Amino acid sequence: MNKLQQLHELGQSTWLNYLNRPFIQSGNLRQHMEEGIQGFTANATSFDDVLSLTSDYDQAIWEQVRAGVPAPQIHSKLIIDDIQVAADCMHDVYQKSDGLEGYVSLELNPSLMHDEVNTVAEVTHLEAVINQPNAMVEVPATPAGIAAIKHLTKDGVSLNITHVFSVDVYEQAAKAYIEGLKIFLDTHSVWRFVPVSVVSFSVSPIDEFVDPMLGDKGKPELLGKTAVSLAKLLYQRCQRIFSGAEWEKLAKKGGCILRPKWSRTTPQNPAFPATYYLEELIGADTVTTFSMVTLPVFMQNGIVTPTLMTQIEPAYEHIRQLDLLGIDVEIVAQKLQQEYLQASEKQFQLITQHISRKRDALELSWQEEKMHSV
């Protein structure tokens, strides 16, 4: 039994934050599935690296150019094609787990982050075009995104709720999800699978933001503890929300809890081992997300033991210490969400620029070939 399978035994799902066309076509996706990866997220940076630095997408781009498709729509078409193939590869995992595992997640255009109506419309459109039950669309946990969760969940859409840095924002997302789930279960007398959503709680950026402040305040003993403390408190909140008589009624009808998904788990501080966050956040009914950097290290050296339910009082005490030092974790969360949403929007714009450059280069090459053939 390898390390991923050991995590499965403890009730934790294992996803990989990496997906692009050569990764799929080379057989690497299937190899990682065989090792125990149960879900994939389409990382915009890894997609852009392949798009801009290799010729793997050139033929597909050229086909879209000849069809008169503008650059932003080419980006969407390329991603959708990858998601469809990857979701098809993962379909057996999805079916054998009764719809709990086997998901492939793609990012919603960040330009919609503050637009509830168009978020619902675009997610619905993407789900219809992809036409795979194990495809998830990533909706950021802005006020507009949280409002959209209820509408999409009641329509049976599975979501990856992203850009969460706060326990309170997780609770807001959970309440919207439960409201939507109630409507779905009340209005669907026959269903094969209920919507299964996750909340991506970003880990390493929290310590990256807070630790310099702690250093300035002369508190080196508190470094590297904020993200894990908040994740453990989020897990406690999750267990309270998804318990009791009302939740049990939904669970008996097939309702699944809104699982916390630990994302951005690669430490930015070189003082911490690559497996630091992965090992500190092991527990049932959660998803842990590996990067291509952390996965091989964890497979080789990771320590698998339940940790999410340990050191809870020290986690509360750490947050109290931050408050005494004048560090408001909710303000930190708001700043991080804004920063990372802006970065996502810039990344989408950059991809569109790279597609435009590819298009121009391919058109020039085609013109040159045409001239030489005359």
Tens digits of residue pLDDT in 221-268: 999 999 999 999 999 999 999 999 999 999 999 999 999 999 999 999
The pLDDT, as a whole number, for residue 223 is: 97
For residues 210 and 232, what is the distance between their CA atoms, to the nearest angstrom? 17
pLDDT, one tens digit per residue, over 21-34 is 999 999 999 999 99
* 189, pLDDT greater than 70: no
Long-range pairs of 211-220 with CB within 8 A, sequence gap ≥ 24: 211/269, 213/325, 213/327, 214/325, 214/327, 217/325, 219/321, 219/325
The pLDDT, as a whole number, for residue 366 is: 64
> Any residues with CB less than 8 A from the CB of 88 and at least 6 apart, and which?
132
The pLDDT, as a whole number, for residue 249 is: 94
Structure tokens at 22: 């050569």
Left if phi > 0, otherwise alpha if psi is -120 to 50, otherwise beta: which for 142?
A: beta
Structure tokens at 249: 């009624």
Query: What average pLDDT does the chain have?
Result: 94
Residues linked to residue 39 through DSSP beta bridges, in sequence order? 15, 103
Q: Tell me the torsion sign for CA atoms 73, 78, 81, 84.
A: negative
Residues linked to residue 164 through DSSP beta bridges, in sequence order? 201
Left if phi > 0, otherwise alpha if psi is -120 to 50, otherwise beta: which for 78?
A: alpha
* 86, pLDDT greater than 90: yes
C-beta separation of 37 from 3 below 8 A:
no
Distances (CA, A) of 329 to 325, 343, 355: 11, 21, 39
Q: What is the average pLDDT across 364-374?
A: 62
Where b means 16+ CB within 10 Å and e means fewer, 35-46 reads ebbbbbbbbbeb
Beta carbons within 10 angstroms of residue 25's beta carbon:
12
pLDDT, one tens digit per residue, over 54-81 is 999 999 998 998 888 888 899 999 999 9
pTM above 0.85, yes or no: yes
**153: nearest Cα among 103, 119, 200, 112:** 119
**93: nearest Cα among 60, 133, 152:** 133
* 179, pLDDT greater than 80: yes
The pLDDT, as a whole number, for residue 370 is: 57
Residues linked to residue 103 through DSSP beta bridges, in sequence order? 39
Overall fold of domain 3-368: TIM Barrel (3.20.20)
